[in-house]
A and B are shown apart, each in its own frame.
Chain A
Amino acid sequence: MLGFALRRILLTVPVMLLVAMLVFGLLYLAPGDPAVVFAGDQATPEQIAHIRSHMGLDRPFLLRFGTWFWNLLHGDLGTSLVSNVPVVGMITQRLELTLSLMVLTLVCSVLIAVPLGIVAAWKRGTAIDRGIMALGVAGFSMPVFVLAYCASYVLAIELRWLPVQGYSPLSAGFGPWLRSLILPAIALGGGYVALISRISRASLVEVLQQDYIRTARAKGAPTRTVLLRHALRNAAVPIVTVIGLGAGLLIGGAVVTETVFALPGVGRLVADAILRRDYPVIQGVVLLFSFSYMLINLLVDLLYPLLDPRIRY
């Protein structure tokens, strides 16, 4: 078990390195010469060449990557081309919002989606099942921003229950914080709920056909025990897998949700950076999101043997 965990963690390292290289390659390929920008309008070619060699832009790719990576390991992602502020500072400043939004969405989605999947699998073939699955397909087909506008039209503009946009930090109180995040969480969670409930249903339907479920029923276990203890436990691996894989949806969705609801988060940061072609910022955020996505899935992989002792490595 320990050996497996160690091997799995070590396997992540080269992939992370490769991701870092891809993301660095992005900046490397980016059009526009930072030296020209840095030198200003009145610079002579000699000055530009001097600045270029001073900034190390004339060195080979691998050497530049090495320097960049070394800085990355020391927590330095460079400075923004637009505001000249360190990228790390810009990100940490906005991290609270994005993290609260994602964690809230993740927890709520799982709490809604898994029971939906259980009910659909239990009532398999009935109108309830078909209804839930139709909702699932619809939720999966609705882009984040469509859901965002529909939800905010109904809940904020027509009913006026929730603020249309804006964020209230957790330090200003739990109530306002939650109220400001409900709409974005609905928008962000729609596709995620659909995905998890579909997989939960598929996985549970598979498990409910097993002999040990019949045995459990035959010995008189109540339906709730059968569903939650016998079936769900055994159906957990695909569900947890998709919760991890679906985190990618949350990350991508955060960019859009934060734009729609004017939330000053990391996703908004990258959306703005694209319009301004602020490559170091794009690079930093993409790197951050990719690494967290990989770590989430690493965690999921490490969870497998705990969820299902039959899995041995």
Chain B
Amino acid sequence: MSSAAASLPSIAPELPEIMEPRVQLRGLIGMVSRNPSVAIALVVIAILVLAALFAPWLGTVDPLAIDPTLRSRLPSVDHLFGTDALGRDLWSRVMFGTRVSLIVGFSVAILATGLGVLLGAISGYIRAADTLVMRLMDAVISIPSILLAIALVSLTRPSVSNVIIAITIAEIPRVARLVRAVVLSLRELPYVEAGLVSGCSTAQLMRRHILPNAIAPIIVQATYICASAMILEATLSFIGAGSPSSVPSWGNIMAEGRSLWQVRPLIVLIPAAFLSITVLAVNMIGDGLRDALDSRLVKDLLHGAARCRRSPDAFPDGERHQPRRSGRELFRQPRRDARHCRRVRLWKVRHVNVNHAAAPPWIDEECRTDRIRWSQSARDFGSGDAQCPRQ
């Protein structure tokens, strides 16, 4: 700084030295330094996954083994978390309970997202199916998810897979509505029209142009669904409609600890702490992803503030786009998204209006095979546009 002040007259050439370029750390270290909370959350989840995988080797005993001589003991060396009302080792039960929570959380997130994307894409893109699918989704979503899950589980025997199915059904509408909203906003964008003009089939358009751009909000939503599935599973088990008592889950352990609640609160508080920390970690990953993938689309859709969306031209390309770069690296997103429509459009319009005999490079491989149709439609556009500078 002092050297800069000394050579005031020639300050302009020195500017680059004063304002050092912002170095963005890449890779894992960069991601961790930018999002410390996500990093902590990932570590927590990793530890829990390992605990679930290696539960039998973590100093645990049979989580179902009853020992009447050791009922409701306080924590000791032999029983790290103490024992419950039937003399079962709480540490073992909690460790094995991790499995249920993680399995339910992850499988519901995957299943509900997959089915939701399918239904949402269909109703967003096919007008005829829209009313039917969305009214059905409206009906399902009007039943509070926990009640729907309760009702569905009560139809069958309690088991972990039934719990997964019930929660998945209750969560599908959330994804489907989101995907439909994204698809509806994306299908109006010029690059989708361009794809259509160049002869892509609906399936190709969906796969190559629309879904890759909808992936960010979907992934964020999937993490939230994972968190809420874990809470739902614990709640169902807690009121006795979830995992059977032969499968220890955090909700079960708490339900069975209720009778001793006023004497041995630890039996309830320990699984409660595990559950809360797990859900907190998943939610933090979701928040971190949402910020990393900072597209306005994600925020608007997840926060329902779509009403006052600004036009894409409100901000010049510059600093505001900076944070998003990390997100794209994270998921290898194509360099186009709803916020970039301006940039993408300019680039594409130039090409669309030029009368190439061959397909321009942005046409996907699959579309290019359909070259005759492309050149046909290119001719339909007229005799090219001389004013458009070629890139």
Interface residues of chain A: helix, strand, loop or mixed (majority) = helix
Flag whether B129 is at the interface (Cβ < 8 A).
no
Encode B295-309 as 1/0 by CB contact (under 8 A) with A.
000010001110110
Contact B142 A141 (CB under 8 A): no
- Chain A residue numbers with a CB within 8 Å of B265 are 149, 153, 157
Contact B142 A293 (CB under 8 A): yes
A137: which of B150, B280, B305, B307 is its contact (CB, 8 Å)? B280
Contact A252 B147 (CB under 8 A): yes
- Chain A residue numbers with a CB within 8 Å of B152 are 26
Flag whether B235 is at the interface (Cβ < 8 A).
yes
Given that A142-B276, A143-B276, A157-B265 are contacting pairs, would A282 and B154 also be in contact in the complex, using a CB cutoff of 8 Å? Answer: yes
Flag whether B311 is at the interface (Cβ < 8 A).
no
- Chain A residue numbers with a CB within 8 Å of B235 are 143-145, 252, 256
- Chain A residue numbers with a CB within 8 Å of B147 are 251-252, 255, 270, 285-286, 289-290
Contact A241 B304 (CB under 8 A): yes
Q: Which of the 9-residue segments A40-48, A63-71, A94-102, A271-279 touches chain B?
A: A271-279
Given that A149-B265, A277-B154 are contacting pairs, would A203 and B144 also be in contact in the complex, using a CB cutoff of 8 Å? Answer: no
Given that A255-B147, A256-B239 are contacting pairs, would A146 and B140 also be in contact in the complex, using a CB cutoff of 8 Å? Answer: no
Contact A274 B272 (CB under 8 A): no
Interface residue count for A (Cβ, 8 Å)?
57
Q: How many A-B residue pairs have CB under 8 A?
A: 145
Contact A137 B284 (CB under 8 A): yes
Encode B220-245 as 1/0 by CB contact (under 8 A) with A.
00000001000100110011110000
Assembly CA distance A251 to B231 (angstroms): 15
- Chain A residue numbers with a CB within 8 Å of B154 are 30, 274, 277, 279, 282
Encode A223-266 as 1/0 by CB contact (under 8 A) with B.
00000000000000110011000001101100110011000000
Flag whether A15 is at the interface (Cβ < 8 A).
yes
Flag whether A18 is at the interface (Cβ < 8 A).
yes
Contact A149 B303 (CB under 8 A): no
Encode B248-291 as 1/0 by CB contact (under 8 A) with A.
00000010001001100100110010011001100110010000
Q: How far is the CB of A269 from chain B (nearest CB, A)?
A: 12
Q: Which residue of A lies closest to B136 (CB)?
A: A18
Assembly CA distance A289 to B145 (angstroms): 11
Q: Which residue of A lies closest to B153 (CB)?
A: A274
Q: Which residue of A lies closest to B268 (CB)?
A: A149
Q: How far is the CB of A19 from chain B (nearest CB, A)?
A: 5
Flag whether A31 is at the interface (Cβ < 8 A).
yes
Contact A22 B254 (CB under 8 A): no
Contact A22 B143 (CB under 8 A): yes
Flag whether B138 is at the interface (Cβ < 8 A).
yes
For chain B residues 301-327, which have a beta carbon within 8 Å of chain A? 303-305, 307-308
B283: which of A140, A206, A283 is its contact (CB, 8 Å)? A140
- Chain A residue numbers with a CB within 8 Å of B269 are 149-150, 153
Q: How far is the CB of A238 from chain B (nearest CB, A)?
A: 5
Contact A145 B144 (CB under 8 A): no
Given that A144-B235, A149-B268, A203-B303 are contacting pairs, would A286 and B135 also be in contact in the complex, using a CB cutoff of 8 Å? Answer: no
Flag whether A199 is at the interface (Cβ < 8 A).
yes
Q: Considering residues A241, A252, A260, which has the most beta carbons from chain B within 10 angstroms of its beta carbon?
A: A252
15 residue pairs A–B, Cβ–Cβ below 8 Å:
A15-B139, A19-B142, A22-B140, A23-B151, A141-B227, A143-B235, A145-B254, A149-B261, A203-B303, A238-B303, A238-B304, A255-B147, A286-B147, A286-B151, A293-B143
A-B residue pairs, 6 tightest by C-beta: A252-B146, A18-B139, A141-B280, A146-B272, A141-B279, A248-B144
Report which B residues bind A (CB closer than 8 A). Answer: 135-136, 138-140, 142-148, 150-156, 227, 231, 234-235, 238-241, 254, 258, 261-262, 265, 268-269, 272, 275-276, 279-280, 283-284, 287, 299, 303-305, 307-308
